[in-house]
Amino acid sequence: MKNQIRNCTLLIFFLIIWGCKKTEEQIVTPVETYITEMISIMETNSINRKTIDWISFKEKVLGKVKGVQSFNDPKFNSAISLALDLLKDSHSFYVDRNDKDVSGTISSVSCYANPLVIPNPDKEIGYVRITGTEIFTDEAGVNAFAEKLQNTIKANDSKAIKGWIVDLRSNFGGNMWPMLAGIGPILGGSTNGTIGYFIKPDGTETKWNYLDGVVNGINITQYKLINPNPKVAVLTDQATASSGEALVIAFKERPNTKSFGTPTCGLSTSNKSYKLSDGAYLFLTVSTMADRTKKKYGSSVIPDVVETDQQVYLKKAIDWLKE
């Protein structure tokens, strides 16, 4: 009888210990929940979602934060950087609710270029340089950027101009729509208003429309060139990136257009922003940029005239515009 009581006591003891351990193992920290939220968005929407081993992905990323209780723990940022790296798109990034970039992928792409040599064309050649924009831009900021760019075009326009240089070198990207709206007078539209596409892995297409002066809903008074439909020389370098590359692609297949310089950075893919539960944003690469003929890019955009010496390709561009 005593043995039976002793055995029952031991059994109850081990059951209690086992139950406690099981409960401990099942506890999921807020940090783990947050990282799981992010991974779920990636698994559903990433441009590479069909080629990623998500079981291994989750094991590696969640393993970084197993049992981590604080969002200030360095392992939290380490897990985010690892997840971005494992996406293998070189373009996705994360911005926390304090607007601190914790990206771990864009820096892996070489987007460096030498200091620019600015062309000095004569009165027959118009010149406009487009720099990048902010990631977050309100409607007033969008319109102000586009209008400022058009005012630059207006100030440089004249009856003598035979062609334009559109300088996209060192354009790091940002919001592509005000850039397209601003350069609209020189870019012009197409027969159906389509100037490019975003194409997802499943073939879903989103058009870039420029029609009657309206680009993606940005409707500002469009300046009209004195000599419409001009020849255009587009300048690129290795620091032309992301939305800067979108502008290069928008000029592809435009009549009387030729590009000069070096291949672009190689981030010609599209990001979509996803707001996370704490107010942070995941900017996730979801599609590939394509020109108006639906030719897809996704990597560096190669100019028509490849040349590393700036003086040489600037002369070639000006000579071509005057032909």
CATH number of the domain residue 145 falls in: 3.90.226.10
Q: What's the pLDDT score for residue 112?
A: 84
| Same-domain status, 75 and 27 | yes
Out of 88, 108, 133, pick the residue that ends a domain: 88
Q: What's the pLDDT score for residue 10?
A: 44
Return d(Cα 6, Cα 8) in angstroms, integer.
5
| Same-domain status, 153 and 290 | yes
| Same-domain status, 242 and 305 | yes
| Same-domain status, 218 and 314 | yes
Report if residue 120 sits inside a domain: no
Q: What's the pLDDT score for residue 109?
A: 66
Report if residue 153 sits inside a domain: yes
| Same-domain status, 83 and 148 | no
User: Would you state the structure tokens that stand for residue 244, as one six-digit string?
Assistant: 């800067």
Q: What is the pLDDT along the chain (323 residues), one digit of tens a residue?
A: 544 544 444 444 444 444 544 444 568 899 999 999 999 999 999 999 999 999 999 999 999 999 999 999 999 999 999 999 999 999 999 999 887 766 655 555 678 888 999 998 899 999 999 998 876 557 888 888 999 999 999 999 999 999 999 999 999 998 999 999 999 999 987 778 899 999 999 999 999 998 877 888 787 878 999 999 999 999 999 999 999 999 999 999 999 999 999 999 999 999 999 999 999 999 999 999 999 999 999 999 999 999 999 999 999 999 999 99
| Same-domain status, 69 and 204 | no
User: Would you state the structure tokens that stand for residue 293, as one six-digit string?
Assistant: 């003929």
Q: Residue length, the chain?
A: 323
Report if residue 103 sits inside a domain: no
Return d(Cα 217, Cα 199) in angstroms, integer.
20
Instruction: Give the count of domains, the chain.
Output: 2
Report if residue 40 sits inside a domain: yes
| Same-domain status, 197 and 308 | yes
Domain that residue 178 falls in: 125-322
Out of 68, 88, 108, pick the residue that ends a domain: 88
Q: What's the pLDDT score for residue 103?
A: 64
| Same-domain status, 204 and 285 | yes
Contact by Cβ (8 Å): 102, 130:
no
Out of 60, 88, 116, pick the residue that ends a domain: 88
Q: What's the pLDDT score for residue 132?
A: 86
Q: What's the pLDDT score for residue 248?
A: 98
| Same-domain status, 76 and 158 | no
Q: What's the pLDDT score for residue 18?
A: 47
| Same-domain status, 153 and 278 | yes
Q: What's the pLDDT score for residue 141?
A: 85
Report if residue 82 sits inside a domain: yes
Return d(Cα 279, Cα 106) in angstroms, integer.
22
Which single residue is written with the structure tokens 């987007």? Answer: 111
Residue 48: phi and psi, rounded to 5, are -105, 20
